Structure 1
């Protein structure tokens, strides 16, 4: 912050009462700092890295979200170990699909948005409130999406009122839809969703849900070149996050590796599908 005619005091904009939304504050006083505030020149195009695939499913008492680690740029692999699943606050997760750089920037802004609300209001935002706030941020990115820089995340969290996990999906216009039991987004979502339909069990434990999520990503990678399967040689495993009444946490590589090894071992002589 520069010291100017105000004698080093905060600008007036910081002292005027307003809403608890940090994004609305930026929109009014520094719109160029928003992800959507830096549009492309007319007719310009960018070949930026894209991230896929994200899956999420509920279990009795919480929700699991997992994502592969590959980012692609056209027919090239831009990154092999990209993290696509993030904790947005103590009780929620978001997984990104679409233009990677823009998506990560939007997630960081969403994290600040929720933290800002908590500090101003002195309470956590409701899960539906978080989902709707993310929808408004995606809607603000519509101009960039029309130029090919789309972000389509998957949001999930634990709802203390219901005592269970809930999942929300989006479209590029900011439409927000609650999904039941499981959902997937990204280029490999068609194949992952087919696997989830066959493997998912409502009565399953958290371990069952983790196995189901990793296996769905395995199936997606089998048919979608943009989705990265478990990289045994480099020991790169999917990112797996869990949210329940104790909060959000991520599984360590040492916890995911046995799940991956079991899936691969079970498919040695029965990989599934034609060669």
Structure 2
């Protein structure tokens, strides 16, 4: 059989050239189901000490939205990793932060990024922002059996809506529950993970929807610092090892951009210096 280029040799099956579905997961389910993430779990697997990710924060600012996460993963009372990446750019105008079972969550967000790219290649246009959030909701729901066994993987979605009437408020945040429930965060900020209670309290006091991107990044790092201060499973800025939070900003001009280590280091060092100065004033 000749392939599509007229070169002698085995050709790919016709399904590989079909545009019947724009879902990469649906394509794999038919053509190579063994490549899909395994969703069946044996009893007791949640007790194996699998690493878990912790705190993610997101907030809007004037003309955009950002998402940030600490770098620690824990296994019970132990630190499994100090520099895990929990915030991922998923396409030109969206990003996802992950909390919960680290392996499943990372696998989910990588497949999600492929889903978005595959849809754009098949359809010739990007999925709408509502379509992106609904697609992610379906992937979270598909993990329900694992979640019920104690292996939940929870994402926090941020994106810039190119179709929004008011560009100043085009940044959107969507959270999910373990069953795939989708919730628009209209307050302008959100947090998930074990330190979310403390991070959200900080965001409630510090968030300014009219702030510039630099001010918003500072607020996000302050919130992560507060989470790490009270939650043992969340990691704050590590000045000794030079490990700092991951931050992704999204706006119309630049799209989704992950801040460099030097940029986040400068903000984190300023936050730590401010906390030291505050403590010194309190003790003097």
How many residues are paired up?
267
Distance of 2:148 and 2:216 partners within structure 1: 36
SS at match of 1:83: coil
Matches within 5 A, 1:245-264: 245=252, 246-264=254-272
CA contact (8 A) 1:88 1:110 kept: yes
Aligned to 2:231: 224
Is the contact between residue 32 and residue 38 of structure 1 (CA under 8 Å) also seen in structure 2? no
Q: 1:21 aligns with which of 23, 35, 60?
A: 23
- Matched with 1:112 is 114
Q: Structure 2 vs 1, CA of residues 43 and 82 (structure 1 numbering), >3 Å: closer, same or farther?
A: closer
1:257 CA drift (Å): 1.8
Judging changes above 3 Å, is the alpha-carbon distance between structure 1 residues 271 and 18 closer, same or farther for their aligned structure 2 residues? farther
Q: How far apart are 1:269 and its partner, in Å? A: 4.4
The answer for the alignment partner of 1:102 in structure 2 is 104
Equivalences for 1:190-209 in 2 at 5 Å?
190-209=197-216
Q: Of the candidates 165, 170, 179, which is equivalent to residue 171 of structure 2?
A: 165
Aligned twin of 2:132? 130
Q: 2 CA distance for matches of 1:135 and 1:38?
A: 16
- SS in structure 2 of the partner of residue 270 of structure 1: helix
Change (3 A) 1:73 1:165: same
2:43 and 2:69 mapped to 1: Cα distance? 34
CA distance in structure 2 between the partners assigned to 1:210 and 1:17 by the alignment: 41
Normalising by the residue count of structure 1, what TM-score does the alignment of the two structures yield?
0.92
- Structure 2 Cα separation of the partners of residues 155 and 122 of structure 1: 23
Deviations 1:202-225 (A, max 9, x none): 111111100000000000000000
Say whether residues 1:183 and 2:190 are aligned partners.
yes
Structure 2 CA distance, aligned partners of 1:169 and 1:52? 15
Offset at residue 270 of structure 1 (A): 2.9
Q: Any unmatched runs of 5+ in structure 2?
A: 4-8
TM-score between the two structures when normalised by the length of structure 2: 0.89
Residue-by-residue CA offset, 1:58-96 (whole Å, 9 max, x unaligned) = 011111110000000000001001111000001100001
Compared with structure 1, are the counterparts of its residues 101 and 120 closer, same or farther at alpha carbon in structure 2 (3 Å cutoff)?
A: same
Task: State the Cα distance separating 1:40 from its structure 2 match.
Answer: 2.1
Q: Deviations over 1:226-267 (max 9, x none)?
A: 000000111111001101012111111211222112211221
Q: Tell me the C-alpha RMSD between the 2 structures.
A: 1.9
Query: Cα 1:259–1:86, aligned 2, differ >3 Å: closer, same or farther?
Result: same
Structure 1 counterpart of 2:6: none
Quick one: distance in 1 between partners of 2:45 and 2:163?
A: 47
Question: 40-49 or 108-117: which moved more?
Answer: 40-49
The separation in 2 between residues aligned to 1:243 and 1:200, in whole angstroms, is 17
Residue 86 (structure 1) aligns with: 88
Q: Secondary structure at the match of 2:271?
A: helix
SS at match of 2:153: coil
